Chain A
Amino acid sequence: MSNTSKKKEKYSPADYVKLISSDGFEFIILRNAAIISGTIRNMLSSGQFIESKLNQIHFRDINAVLLEKVCQYLYYKHRYTNSTTEIPPHNIDPALALELVVVADFLDC
Chain B
Amino acid sequence: MNSRRTNQKSRIKPPKKSNAADSQFNDNWERLAQAIREIHKKNASILSFEELYRNAYNMVLHKNGDKLYEGVKRVITQHLEEVAVAQIVPNFPLSGASSSSQTNPVNGVGGANFLKVLKNVWEDHITCMLMIRDILMYMDRVYAKSANVPPVYDLGLELFRDTIVRSQKYPIQIHLLDVLLQQILLERENEIIDRSSVKASMDMLLELVDASTRETVYSIDFEGRFLETSAEYYRVEGQMLVGECDAPEYMKKVEKRLIEEEQRVRHYLSQSTEQKIRSIVEEELISKHLKTVIDMENSGLIPMLRNEKMDDLARMYKLFGRVSQGHEEMKSAISNYIRELGKAINETVSSGSNNNISTTSTDGGGGDKSQTGTSVAIRWVQEVLDLKDKFDKVQSLALSNDKSFQTAFNEAFEYFINKNPKSPEFISLFIDDNLKKGLKGKTEEEVDSVLDKTITLFRFISEKDVFERYYKQHLAKRLLLGRSVSDDAERGMIGKLKIECGYQFTSKLEGMFNDMRISTDTMSDFKEYLDKSVLERPKLDLNVTVLTSTFWPMNMPASPRCNFPAEITRACEAFQRFYLGRHSGRRLTWQSNMGTADIRANFNSKKHEINVSTYQMVILLMFNDVPPGKDLSYETIKGESDIPEVDLKRNLQSLACAKYKILLKEPKGREINAGDKFYFNEDFTAPYQRIKIQTVASKVETEGERKDTREKVEEARKHQTEAAIVRIMKDRKTMEHNLLISETTRQLQPRFTPNPAMIKKRIEALIEREYLERAPGDRRVYNYLA
Q: Write the residues of chain A forming the contact surface with B, with a CB cutoff of 8 angstroms.
A: 38-39, 42-43, 46-53, 57-61, 94-95, 98-99, 102, 106, 108
Q: Smallest distance from the beta carbon of A25 to chain B beta carbons, Å?
A: 15
The winner among A58, A59, A98 for most chain B CB atoms within 10 A is A98
Docked pose: A57 CA to B49 CA in angstroms: 9
A59-B50, A95-B3, A98-B11 known, 15 other contacts, Cβ within 8 Å: A42-B137, A43-B53, A46-B49, A46-B130, A47-B127, A47-B130, A47-B134, A50-B48, A50-B49, A57-B49, A57-B50, A95-B8, A98-B12, A102-B14, A108-B137
Of B39-47, B180-188, B367-375, the one contacting chain A is B39-47
**Interchain CB contact under 8 A, A61 and B54:** yes
Docked pose: A95 CA to B4 CA in angstroms: 6
Contact of A46 among B46, B51, B135, B141 (CB under 8 A): B135
The winner among B11, B12, B45, B50 for most chain A CB atoms within 10 A is B50
A99-B53 contact given A47-B39, A49-B48, A108-B141, CB 8 Å threshold: no
Docked pose: A11 CA to B202 CA in angstroms: 44
CB neighbours of A95 from chain B (8 A): 3-4, 7-8
**Interchain CB contact under 8 A, A49 and B138:** no
Contact of B11 among A48, A99, A108 (CB under 8 A): A99
**Interchain CB contact under 8 A, B14 and A47:** no
- Cβ contacts A to B, 18 pairs, < 8 Å: A42-B53, A42-B135, A43-B49, A46-B131, A47-B130, A49-B45, A49-B47, A50-B45, A52-B49, A59-B50, A60-B51, A60-B54, A95-B3, A98-B11, A99-B11, A102-B14, A106-B57, A106-B138
Docked pose: A43 CA to B136 CA in angstroms: 11
**Interchain CB contact under 8 A, A98 and B54:** no
Q: Smallest distance from the beta carbon of A101 to chain B beta carbons, Å?
A: 9
CB neighbours of B39 from chain A (8 A): 47
Contact of B137 among A39, A49, A98, A99 (CB under 8 A): A39
Q: Smallest distance from the beta carbon of A41 to chain B beta carbons, Å?
A: 9
Q: Smallest distance from the beta carbon of B71 to chain A beta carbons, Å?
A: 20
CB neighbours of A98 from chain B (8 A): 8, 11-12
**Interchain CB contact under 8 A, A47 and B131:** yes
Interface majority SS (helix, strand, loop, mixed), chain A: helix
Docked pose: A50 CA to B45 CA in angstroms: 5
B:294-333 near A, CB below 8 Å: none
CB neighbours of B53 from chain A (8 A): 39, 42-43
Q: Smallest distance from the beta carbon of A94 to chain B beta carbons, Å?
A: 8
Docked pose: A58 CA to B50 CA in angstroms: 7
CB neighbours of B3 from chain A (8 A): 95
B:360-394 near A, CB below 8 Å: none
Chain B's interface size range is 20 to 34
A48-B50 contact given A102-B14, A108-B141, CB 8 Å threshold: no
The winner among A46, A53, A57, A106 for most chain B CB atoms within 10 A is A46
Docked pose: A58 CA to B47 CA in angstroms: 12
**Interchain CB contact under 8 A, A48 and B4:** no
- CB closest chain-B residue, reference A53: B45
Q: Smallest distance from the beta carbon of B732 to chain A beta carbons, Å?
A: 76
Docked pose: A99 CA to B46 CA in angstroms: 30
Q: Smallest distance from the beta carbon of A29 to chain B beta carbons, Å?
A: 16
Q: B57-97 interface mask toward A, CB cutoff 8 Å, 1 = contact, 0 = none?
A: 10000000000000000000000000000000000000000
Docked pose: A48 CA to B44 CA in angstroms: 5
Q: B10-36 interface mask toward A, CB cutoff 8 Å, 1 = contact, 0 = none?
A: 011010000000000000000000000
B:129-187 near A, CB below 8 Å: 130-131, 134-135, 137-138, 141
**Interchain CB contact under 8 A, A60 and B50:** yes
**Interchain CB contact under 8 A, A51 and B14:** no
Contact of A49 among B7, B8, B49 (CB under 8 A): B49
Docked pose: A47 CA to B45 CA in angstroms: 8
CB neighbours of A94 from chain B (8 A): 4
- CB closest chain-B residue, reference A38: B137
The winner among A46, A49, A98, A106 for most chain B CB atoms within 10 A is A49
A42-B134 contact given A58-B48, A102-B14, CB 8 Å threshold: yes
Q: Which 8 A-B pairs have the closest CB atoms?
A: A46-B134, A49-B49, A47-B131, A98-B11, A42-B134, A43-B49, A48-B45, A95-B7
The winner among A48, A51, A94, A108 for most chain B CB atoms within 10 A is A48
A42-B49 contact given A47-B131, A48-B44, CB 8 Å threshold: yes
Q: Smallest distance from the beta carbon of A11 to chain B beta carbons, Å?
A: 24
Docked pose: A107 CA to B11 CA in angstroms: 18
CB neighbours of B54 from chain A (8 A): 60-61, 106
**Interchain CB contact under 8 A, B50 and A43:** yes
Q: Smallest distance from the beta carbon of A22 to chain B beta carbons, Å?
A: 11
Contact of B49 among A38, A51, A61, A106 (CB under 8 A): A51
Docked pose: A46 CA to B11 CA in angstroms: 32
Q: Smallest distance from the beta carbon of A45 to chain B beta carbons, Å?
A: 8
Q: Smallest distance from the beta carbon of B34 to chain A beta carbons, Å?
A: 15
CB neighbours of A59 from chain B (8 A): 50
Docked pose: A18 CA to B57 CA in angstroms: 22
The winner among B4, B53, B137 for most chain A CB atoms within 10 A is B53
Docked pose: A102 CA to B53 CA in angstroms: 15
Q: Smallest distance from the beta carbon of B344 to chain A beta carbons, Å?
A: 81
Docked pose: A57 CA to B8 CA in angstroms: 28
- CB closest chain-B residue, reference A98: B11
CB neighbours of B12 from chain A (8 A): 98
- CB closest chain-B residue, reference A58: B50
Docked pose: A49 CA to B39 CA in angstroms: 9
